[in-house]
Chains A and B, each alone.
Chain A
Amino acid sequence: MKRILSDFRPFLGLMRAGTGRELLAGAALAALTGLMGMALLGLSGWFITATALAGLVPATALAFDVFMPSAAIRLFALGRTAARYGERLVTHDAMLGVLALLRGRLFRGWSAPGAARALAMRPARLLFRLTADVDALDTVYLRILVPLGTAIAAALAAGILLAFISPALGLAVFTVLVLAGGAVAGLTARSASPATLRRAARTETLRARVIDLASGQTDLLLAGRIPAQQEALAMLEARLAADDRRLNRIETGAGLAYGLLAAVLPPLVLVATAAFAAGGRIGAPGVAFALLVTMAATEPFAALRRGAVDFARARLAARRTGPVLRQPCPRIERDEPCPGLVAELRHVALRHDAAVAPILRDLSLSVRQGEHIALIGPSGVGKTSLIQCLAGDLSPETGSVRVLPSARLTQRTELFRDSLRDNLRLGAPGASDAKMMAALTQAGLEGIIHALPDGLGTELGDGGQGLSGGQARRLALARLMLRDVPLWLLDEPTEGLDGETARDVLARLRAAAGPRSTITATHIRREAEGADRLLVLGNGGIKATHIRGSPGFEAALDSLRPD
């Protein structure tokens, strides 16, 4: 119990901090809906019985006050509808509010250096898991907490109402409802837990296997492994179906238990109250009232079964998102280097989490203000890792890194589903349209922007869809240029551009850099040509350094891809 609470604590904290009051109001309205329904049924039963008895004797029939109860019946009918409508509105609105907050917090959490790298390493699976977790947390309130509150409120109300007939009866009904109802829910949650968790993991595997089949089809075909892959998928699906059947057995089992409770408890109450009636403590109307109130009180428990089955998945989601929610986005704080330098690395070793071997073992480097450096070396030698380290995405395992604020152009052009303006503003929040146009001009995009009917307001698709590769690269450059920092980190800035465009982009980049320093990771000659210093990475450090004008410089350039 304690462990469950501690798993859910971060999310519950978020709920309280977010829309706590609305969430409570929603739960209260849900309980009120149940109570109104109970009152409607109970009162109607009492009313019919009482009128029937009164109707037998003309004198009492005339004296019978029909208006209070019949008005109350109509009031409860209307009130129930209104409460239900309000409940649905308030609960959904409040939950959407919590989810909005959750998404923002999760984003901040994922932006932490370590988490961001994990995301980059296994994007599809983690992103899928992230959305599945958000969906699962949605159930905590709507499917678990609200139905639980409603059921308990109903049991309590029935207990109190029946206590007017007999305190013992009220207590007994309340106890039976809460104990039996709670035990069924608890047992359901517990027995569904393994299958629920297995199912979540298997669904992820199913995804991965389908992607393997679709993307790796040629490899599998040539290796003669298509039938095996198909068989593996069929087996996985059979296991998933078995999980589903098991969960359905558990869920319908809970339904059966609640159904039996609803079938047996009201007749028991009927007999008990009939005994009181025989003793003269109450009349037949009281019996009818007790019967209908009990019937109404068992109803909300049926809604607990779905939430009980989903509980383990919600808990898994709470446990997985918990660490992210608990800590505010940590940052890698960096000291400033000595004056005149923009970056100073001493005996730096870099290692990715998953890797056993370090990428860089011992690298020392000082970059002067205004210096242009090119990092070269074969793929996998650690060029991008060094850029990541300078950008604060990767902490050195050993050694020290001192660097001024930087802006980074990633290897893959990363644009966002947003307007051109908001894409540009990412780097410079306060930038005016004029300043943005100036940057676009510098990047060689002004003609294209002017041709767009919406200009800077043009909306881009996911990942910047709607622009050609070259245009997207130029836009990313314009975004970089808007960022006023002393160091630019460029990872293969013109990869994928044709020679002419690339040279144009590079010239513009150099012009825009002005007094800034640049560090470029590259394997294309044109990107390295303009550097003051070429650093050849290898053997876990800097293998060779070539200063512009030295004989090694040209030789190193010649080893690069011509265009």
Chain B
Amino acid sequence: MPRQTRNDRTAQKACSAGIPDLLPTLAALLWLPQAALLAAAIAAVAVDASLAEIARFAALAAVLGSLRALIVWVGERASFRQAREAVSTLRNAAVLALASRSPLDATRTASGEAASMIAEQAESITPWLARFGPTRLKAVVIPLAIFLTILPLSWAAALVLLIALPVIPVFMALIGWRAQAASKAQLVEVGAMNAFLLDRLRGLATIRGLAAVDRVAERVEQEAQSLRARTMAVLRIAFMTSAVLELFAALGVAMVAVYVGFHLLGALGFGAWGGMLGLGQGMFILLLAPAFFEPMRELSAIWHDKAAGQAAHENLLRLAQEGRRLPDAGQSGPPAAAPVSATGPAVVVRNLDIGRTDHESPLAGGLNFSVNRGEHVALVGPSGVGKTTILSLIAGLATAPRGRIEVFGQELRPDTAMHLRAGMAWIGQNPHIFAGSLAANITLGRSGIGEDAVTRALAALLLDDVARARGNAAIGEGGAGLSGGEALRLALARIAVAPQAALILADEPTAHLDPVTAGEITDSLLELAQGRTLIVATHDPRLAARMDRSIRLAPLEGRAAA
């Protein structure tokens, strides 16, 4: 279970004590001498000591306090830096996994969900990693240290705190459990509310089309109001548990104050090991009492961070988990650039088994065919027979369970896939439009593609009107405002500017298009493919008819076509 161990490791890192994690505890411990100095100063005032002596105590206390603030500052900075680095590592690992997963992997996380995990959710990991460990350490050490400091002075005052002490772990657990439930419930509710709003906003055209804007707006408000009521019901309990903790803390302080007061007055003579406390000691105990409870309150306040951080952390790890990967994923070193032979067939497929996953029994087995240089070939057959899978295997987007593929005389292997891909171009049925300008969508950042090449490609694919309309404005978001035909022409323009791509693989390029547009796309595709090898997977008989020949794929024996 690699995931489990990795999860444990980061979680351990969150809770184990590194040097920066110790600093907040160290700073909190400095409160002990600082409080002693302040108490001594008060005691000095009471015995009419010289102002200089009092000022010395006060100055020392100020110095210690400043030192404390500095240590907290250093600790916070260091913990944050470490935590933020861990988040960077997690994000980069998730991105790497996204980049090296095979496009054929059916278990891929939807892109929107992946984006939300990597972008927003990951943000909640930093506060958890940075603060939870140090705060927990403080919550263990500080009450104990204060108890041990007070005990030799007054067992009675220590006892008052001790009464609260066994109660606190119980409440800690309660709060942990409750706060977690509450924050989870609240997160779910808020998420549901946002989803509700998004759901309605996505259907805005329909809502407007049915003149239902006001009614839906009222529903949105009602829904948000009922969310408010449900959230408050959960929060009331969560706040109640932390109020009980607060109550114990406040009563603890009050009882200590009252006890010390009565003791100093002589009304309660017991509690100081047979002796009497002085004003300085009494004041010292009073100053320590709130600090006894403080770390616990802090810890309960960041419990929410923990729930959100852990959930986000698990999501990122899941995203980075192994799935079906690209053949050349994890290849290091320069790709093998064995000589690509100048003659012979463009693509040779031998004894190829194909499957959508690595383990599933193959969709088709023992495929053999070859495509000559410059030849235009259609792959036809019923849907589900594996046409897209064959194209993907030729493009090196997944590994075949069995068989051999040669492209331009060179075997497709993990170490050659990247090199061979450089000589190919792909066009799918729903080309992705990248966030960026039209021109950037054509060059895709490839070097050596000049402005004139882009202009020529735009003109050749009848995109110049669109280019004029769009200018440099960003498109993207699934090609907002681009029609299906325009998106395909854009994908063709990407091929037009890449003359080195001698093999064009087209996956159902005319599906979802009206006949006029489909005809135009077919013309453009054939024009682009002049002098290049073209393999088209298609259902469209008109497109198939314009190829040099068709390879008909039959479903595997004994298996019905899906």
Mask of A118-140 contacts with B, CB within 8 angstroms, 1/0? 01111111010011101000000
Q: Would A561 and B515 count as touching, CB distance under 8 A?
A: yes
Partner-binding segment picked from B1-9, B166-174, B367-375, B422-430: B422-430
Q: Would A213 and B99 count as touching, CB distance under 8 A?
A: yes
Would you call B360 an interface residue if the criterion is a C-beta within 8 Å of the partner chain's C-beta atoms? Answer: no
Min distance, Cβ A360 to any Cβ of chain B, angstroms? 13
Contacts of A263 in B (CB 8 A): 61-62, 64-66, 68-69
Min distance, Cβ B197 to any Cβ of chain A, angstroms? 6
Q: Would B250 and A40 count as touching, CB distance under 8 A?
A: yes
Contact A104 to B220, CB < 8 A, known contacts A238-B88, A248-B77:
yes
**In the complex the two chains form, what is the Cα distance from A125 to B215 in whole Å?**
26
Would you call A379 an interface residue if the criterion is a C-beta within 8 Å of the partner chain's C-beta atoms? Answer: yes
B91-118 residues with Cβ-Cβ distance < 8 A to A are 91-92, 95-96, 98-99, 101, 103, 108-109, 111-112, 114-116, 118
Q: Would B257 and A410 count as touching, CB distance under 8 A?
A: no
Would you call A357 an interface residue if the criterion is a C-beta within 8 Å of the partner chain's C-beta atoms? Answer: yes
**In the complex the two chains form, what is the Cα distance from A429 to B210 in whole Å?**
10
Would you call A259 an interface residue if the criterion is a C-beta within 8 Å of the partner chain's C-beta atoms? Answer: yes
Contacts of B123 in A (CB 8 A): 203
Would you call A336 an interface residue if the criterion is a C-beta within 8 Å of the partner chain's C-beta atoms? Answer: no
Contact A414 to B239, CB < 8 A, known contacts A44-B286, A52-B264, A352-B481:
no
Q: Would B45 and A245 count as touching, CB distance under 8 A?
A: no
Would you call A489 an interface residue if the criterion is a C-beta within 8 Å of the partner chain's C-beta atoms? Answer: yes
Contacts of B41 in A (CB 8 A): 267, 270, 274
Contacts of B42 in A (CB 8 A): 45, 49, 270, 284, 287-288, 291
**In the complex the two chains form, what is the Cα distance from A230 to B212 in whole Å?**
44
Contact A559 to B282, CB < 8 A, known contacts A73-B257, A356-B471:
no
Mask of B215-235 contacts with A, CB within 8 angstroms, 1/0? 111101100110110011001
Would you call B290 an interface residue if the criterion is a C-beta within 8 Å of the partner chain's C-beta atoms? Answer: yes
Contacts of A88 in B (CB 8 A): 235, 239
Q: Would A214 and B98 count as touching, CB distance under 8 A?
A: yes
A474-489 residues with Cβ-Cβ distance < 8 A to B are 476, 479-480, 483, 489
Q: Which residue of B lies closest to A277 (CB)?
A: B45
Contacts of A426 in B (CB 8 A): 206-207, 210, 212, 215-216
Would you call A15 an interface residue if the criterion is a C-beta within 8 Å of the partner chain's C-beta atoms? Answer: no
Q: Would B424 and A222 count as touching, CB distance under 8 A?
A: yes
Q: Would A408 and B261 count as touching, CB distance under 8 A?
A: no
Taking chain A's interface residues, is the majority helix, strand, or loop, or is none over half, making it mixed? helix
Q: Would A103 and B220 count as touching, CB distance under 8 A?
A: yes
Q: Would A241 and B92 count as touching, CB distance under 8 A?
A: no
Query: Which of A44, A78, A96, A560 is B514 in contact with, Cβ under 8 Å?
Result: A560
Q: Would A355 and B481 count as touching, CB distance under 8 A?
A: yes
**In the complex the two chains form, what is the Cα distance from A74 to B261 in whole Å?**
13
Contacts of A248 in B (CB 8 A): 76-77, 80-81, 84
Would you call A335 an interface residue if the criterion is a C-beta within 8 Å of the partner chain's C-beta atoms? Answer: no
**In the complex the two chains form, what is the Cα distance from A274 to B47 in whole Å?**
11
Contacts of B70 in A (CB 8 A): 256, 259
Would you call B148 an interface residue if the criterion is a C-beta within 8 Å of the partner chain's C-beta atoms? Answer: no
B364-407 residues with Cβ-Cβ distance < 8 A to A are 395, 397
**In the complex the two chains form, what is the Cα distance from A329 to B119 in whole Å?**
32
Q: Which of A134, A207, A209, A287 has the most CB of B within 10 A?
A: A207
Min distance, Cβ B56 to any Cβ of chain A, angstroms? 10
Contacts of B212 in A (CB 8 A): 426-427, 429
**In the complex the two chains form, what is the Cα distance from A119 to B38 in whole Å?**
61
Contact A78 to B45, CB < 8 A, known contacts A66-B261, A123-B202:
no
**In the complex the two chains form, what is the Cα distance from A51 to B42 in whole Å?**
13
Mask of B177-216 contacts with A, CB within 8 angstroms, 1/0? 0000000000000000111111111111111111111111
Interface residues contributed by chain B, number (CB under 8 Å): 152
Interface residues contributed by chain A, number (CB under 8 Å): 155
Contacts of A223 in B (CB 8 A): 444-446, 494, 498
Partner-binding segment picked from B133-141, B431-439, B545-553: B431-439
Contacts of A391 in B (CB 8 A): 205, 208-209
Min distance, Cβ B46 to any Cβ of chain A, angstroms? 4
Q: Which of B65, B84, B225, B395 has the most CB of A within 10 A?
A: B65
Q: Would A111 and B197 count as touching, CB distance under 8 A?
A: no
Query: Which of A85, A116, A134 is B243 in contact with, Cβ under 8 Å?
Result: A85
Q: Would B228 and A96 count as touching, CB distance under 8 A?
A: yes
Would you call B251 an interface residue if the criterion is a C-beta within 8 Å of the partner chain's C-beta atoms? Answer: yes
Q: Would B247 and A81 count as touching, CB distance under 8 A?
A: yes
Contacts of A523 in B (CB 8 A): 514-516
Min distance, Cβ A460 to any Cβ of chain B, angstroms? 10
Q: Would A52 and B69 count as touching, CB distance under 8 A?
A: no
Q: Would A408 and B205 count as touching, CB distance under 8 A?
A: yes
Min distance, Cβ A297 to any Cβ of chain B, angstroms? 15
**In the complex the two chains form, what is the Cα distance from A248 to B79 in whole Å?**
11
Q: Would B38 and A224 count as touching, CB distance under 8 A?
A: no
Q: Would A378 and B514 count as touching, CB distance under 8 A?
A: yes
Q: Would B470 and A96 count as touching, CB distance under 8 A?
A: no
Partner-binding segment picked from B302-310, B345-353, B483-491, B528-536: B483-491
Mask of A226-264 contacts with B, CB within 8 angstroms, 1/0? 101110011001100100110011001101100110111
Q: Which residue of B lies closest to A232 (CB)?
A: B445
Would you call B175 an interface residue if the criterion is a C-beta within 8 Å of the partner chain's C-beta atoms? Answer: no
Contacts of B451 in A (CB 8 A): none
**In the complex the two chains form, what is the Cα distance from A52 to B446 in whole Å?**
82
Contacts of B426 in A (CB 8 A): 218-219, 221-222
Min distance, Cβ A442 to any Cβ of chain B, angstroms? 17
Q: Would A241 and B84 count as touching, CB distance under 8 A?
A: yes
Contacts of B216 in A (CB 8 A): 107, 426
**In the complex the two chains form, what is the Cα distance from A379 to B515 in whole Å?**
10
Would you call B562 an interface residue if the criterion is a C-beta within 8 Å of the partner chain's C-beta atoms? Answer: no
Contacts of B326 in A (CB 8 A): 221
Contact A219 to B193, CB < 8 A, known contacts A96-B231, A121-B481:
no
Q: Would A53 and B279 count as touching, CB distance under 8 A?
A: yes
Q: Would A203 and B120 count as touching, CB distance under 8 A?
A: yes
Contacts of A127 in B (CB 8 A): 198, 201-202
Partner-binding segment picked from B13-21, B336-344, B453-461, B472-480: B472-480
Min distance, Cβ B73 to any Cβ of chain A, angstroms? 4
Q: Which residue of B lies closest to A208 (CB)?
A: B435
Q: Would B240 and A85 count as touching, CB distance under 8 A?
A: yes
Min distance, Cβ B68 to any Cβ of chain A, angstroms? 7
**In the complex the two chains form, what is the Cα distance from A129 to B70 in whole Å?**
37
Contacts of A77 in B (CB 8 A): 247, 250-251, 253-254
Min distance, Cβ A170 to any Cβ of chain B, angstroms? 19
Q: Would B397 and A218 count as touching, CB distance under 8 A?
A: yes
Contacts of A457 in B (CB 8 A): none
Contact A100 to B72, CB < 8 A, known contacts A219-B431, A226-B99, A252-B80:
no
Query: Which of A207, A228, A278, A409 is B445 in contact with, Cβ under 8 Å?
Result: A228
Contacts of A122 in B (CB 8 A): 476-477, 480
Contacts of B240 in A (CB 8 A): 85
Q: Which of A260, A283, A329 has the most CB of B within 10 A?
A: A260
Mask of A418-459 contacts with B, CB within 8 angstroms, 1/0? 000000001101000000000000000000000000000000
Query: Which of B45, B64, B76 is A252 in contact with, Cβ under 8 Å?
Result: B76
Contact A210 to B118, CB < 8 A, known contacts A223-B498, A263-B68:
yes
Would you call A179 an interface residue if the criterion is a C-beta within 8 Å of the partner chain's C-beta atoms? Answer: no
Q: Would B208 and A392 count as touching, CB distance under 8 A?
A: yes
17 A-B residue pairs with CB within 8 Å: A54-B265, A58-B266, A81-B243, A92-B235, A130-B197, A208-B435, A221-B426, A228-B445, A241-B85, A241-B88, A252-B80, A255-B72, A278-B48, A354-B481, A408-B210, A414-B203, A463-B202
* A-B interface, 10 closest residue pairs, ranked by CB to CB distance from nearest: A263-B65, A259-B69, A408-B209, A100-B224, A523-B514, A104-B221, A214-B111, A44-B257, A414-B203, A216-B432
Add 18 more A-B contacts to A44-B253, A70-B261, A219-B444 (CB < 8 A).
Answer: A101-B221, A104-B221, A108-B217, A219-B434, A221-B397, A230-B96, A253-B73, A259-B65, A259-B73, A263-B61, A264-B65, A266-B38, A266-B61, A267-B59, A352-B481, A378-B517, A426-B210, A429-B212
